[in-house]
Structure 1
């Protein structure tokens, strides 16, 4: 049996999406799974949220008491103070002698060493740990003394469907079609994206843009004003399913100018590469490992992101259709190779856990 702990959709975000995909793989193995959803109920206050967490933990204790000895705990590890709730699950599993697998999705506690994280991970040194890229594995080992042999690297690419070829072809005389897809916040780089559009037009580069995602309330007015100042730029709101596929279909390049320090391995970038869409991104978390040369460009200087991105796109705008087609192919091939390698790793982990034991 797998005792599954972690937030599941709704709300839908990268962390809950991957948790849902991991749960689906355990069930398809097939394996008996008891689920303890850590996602707060909509519009729930802090006190009610903690009561919900306590009730779920008590249910976990009861389930653990009746579970076979070979049962394992799988935990989607939180990025902030929710780790203290994770600790409650971890301690019970450890006291019962059950194997533990912790799946890490954030750099929040890898760029620094919070006291509460150090406490939790000190209790988890004998657990197996799943991270998203090699640099994340190195940081986890360095910060918390977890043996590298206890860490498995599995890219989020393993959870996505196979690559899908889209019919696209940039024409040299046409406007560049640029896209931004994310939760729309200042940290995620929306205003850098608008500055990039302005810089390109000042250089004489014809450009059209589409922005997709929900707008954070704290920047709603500033966003509306900045959007209104941009000609040929649409805000589509949140996009899912077929609307998201159409969004990617209409682009030449996905721009991901994130300044978010806790960024790990954005699913958005993987989705873009999956359909052969080149990526222009700012370096955070695993992004530099995710976008190889030819599949796009990753920039490493926050202060010069707009200028360097404008240089790159101005040069690309002059290129031939054949050069664009080669870039589309290289972007998709990067995803194909990444997915194949990491899907195999993921299958091995699921197989070991569902047969009774840690990853």
Structure 2
């Protein structure tokens, strides 16, 4: 999404990019290191230099939680010192959790006061309650290629489930495996494709979980996949399962990618997902942390084939209408114009 925003901004603005790359691997994102501190300090010096040149606005992918919240909050305060308006793009949720210290609360209110915040959907508007800022809803988007995946399914093959996300427990991979074990006990045939980089679950941990649940003959782990491999996995999937319970989840692109490809979706209603995956209409909603219910949802999807396909068709049409890059570019460019003017 950062790349998409940069492309959109460069169509209408002269953009200077300060790349905020602090972690090389997904599993390192939440880990504080000396290297991250040095990078943050170096970026603050570069930002000071750019702010001194008086740009029309600062656009920042603002982290709502963790140590990155303090870093980004200080960056925004720096822009205020120079009289440069800031646009804070929130790709996650968690601002209302900033009560661990008076400084965190003060920083949150000062950083957002008088600025413009972008949120991904109306379900996240509560994050900005009590903050003296303007808000704008700009949902994520998908590239045109996401809508061009051709599904190659056959009615006489084993149904294929797809789990696509980095291997974090909060993203629901353990729930998926537990639900699959229940399906196996019910003698329901399936195959599970798992794709994603290591998180707080390593490849070894995943292999042990698969062995514990007795799913050795049902699972295939693909590791971190590129766009081509992702397209192949989506084209062969009968069902996409993503029972995330990640507290900062806002609008995961993996769900949108599955919907755009016409793959039936089962997910939780966290963040904006409840507005996108409408239960029984554009997909199935499952309570996170409950493998028994997830297994039932998967079983229903297998047996209620017409209803499942109708939901997938409706989801694909919904994505075409609301998550195109043309719409995203227009909304972001319009907002920039309003802020600068």
How high is the TM-score relative to the length of structure 1? 0.82
Partner of 2:244: 258
Q: Does 1:166 align with 2:153?
A: no
Partner of 1:134: 122
Q: Secondary structure at the match of 2:222?
A: strand
Inter-partner Cα distance in structure 2 for 1:64 and 1:267: 32
Q: Secondary structure at the match of 1:48?
A: helix
Q: Does 1:347 align with 2:333?
A: no
Q: CA deviation at 1:338?
A: 1.9
Matched ranges for 1:59-98 at <5 A: 59-68=46-55, 71-78=56-63, 79-98=65-84
Please tell me whether the aligned partners of residues 256 and 319 of structure 2 are also in contact (alpha carbons under 8 angstroms).
yes
Q: CA deviation at 1:205?
A: 1.6
Partner of 1:175: 158
Partner of 2:318: 334
For the aligned residue pairs, the C-alpha RMSD in angstroms reads 2.6
Q: Does 1:39 align with 2:21?
A: yes
Please tell me whether the aligned partners of residues 72 and 356 of structure 1 are also in contact (alpha carbons under 8 angstroms).
no
Inter-partner Cα distance in structure 2 for 1:134 and 1:240: 31
Partner of 1:54: 41
Partner of 1:357: 339
Could you tell me which runs of 5 or more consecutive residues in structure 1 were left unpaired when the two chains were aligned: 1-17
Q: CA deviation at 1:200?
A: 1.3
Please tell me whether the aligned partners of residues 75 and 103 of structure 1 are also in contact (alpha carbons under 8 angstroms).
yes
Structure with a larger share of its residues in strand: 1
Inter-partner Cα distance in structure 2 for 1:151 and 1:356: 12
Q: Does 1:316 align with 2:304?
A: no
Inter-partner Cα distance in structure 2 for 1:158 and 1:113: 35
Count of equivalent residues: 329
Partner of 1:4: none
CA deviation string 1:77-104 (max 9, x = no partner): 0132222222232122212222211001
Please tell me whether the aligned partners of residues 170 and 252 of structure 1 are also in contact (alpha carbons under 8 angstroms).
no
Equivalent in 132, 135, 152 of residue 151 of structure 1: 135
Q: CA deviation at 1:156?
A: 1.1
Inter-partner Cα distance in structure 2 for 1:41 and 1:251: 31
Please tell me whether the aligned partners of residues 93 and 127 of structure 2 are also in contact (alpha carbons under 8 angstroms).
no
Equivalent in 233, 250, 263 of residue 247 of structure 1: 233
Q: In the superposition, relative to structure 1, how do residues 87 and 141 fare at CA in structure 2: closer, same or farther (>3 Å)?
A: closer
CA deviation string 1:305-330 (max 9, x = no partner): 3222222222222234x545423312
Q: CA deviation at 1:339?
A: 1.6
Q: Secondary structure at the match of 2:182?
A: helix
Equivalent in 266, 269, 275 of residue 283 of structure 1: 269
Inter-partner Cα distance in structure 1 for 2:174 and 2:335: 45
Q: CA deviation at 1:181?
A: 0.7
Equivalent in 284, 296, 314 of residue 283 of structure 2: 296
Please tell me whether the aligned partners of residues 57 and 85 of structure 2 are also in contact (alpha carbons under 8 angstroms).
yes
Inter-partner Cα distance in structure 1 for 2:82 and 2:309: 56
Q: CA deviation at 1:254?
A: 0.6
Please tell me whether the aligned partners of residues 73 and 107 of structure 2 are also in contact (alpha carbons under 8 angstroms).
yes
Partner of 1:5: none
Equivalent in 189, 195, 209 of residue 212 of structure 1: 195
Partner of 1:307: 292
CA deviation string 1:245-272 (max 9, x = no partner): 0011110111002122121111111111
CA deviation string 1:269-298 (max 9, x = no partner): 111111111110123222211212422111
Please tell me whether the aligned partners of residues 280 and 297 of structure 1 are also in contact (alpha carbons under 8 angstroms).
yes
Partner of 1:119: 106
Q: In the superposition, relative to structure 1, how do residues 176 and 63 fare at CA in structure 2: closer, same or farther (>3 Å)?
A: same
Q: CA deviation at 1:51?
A: 2.4
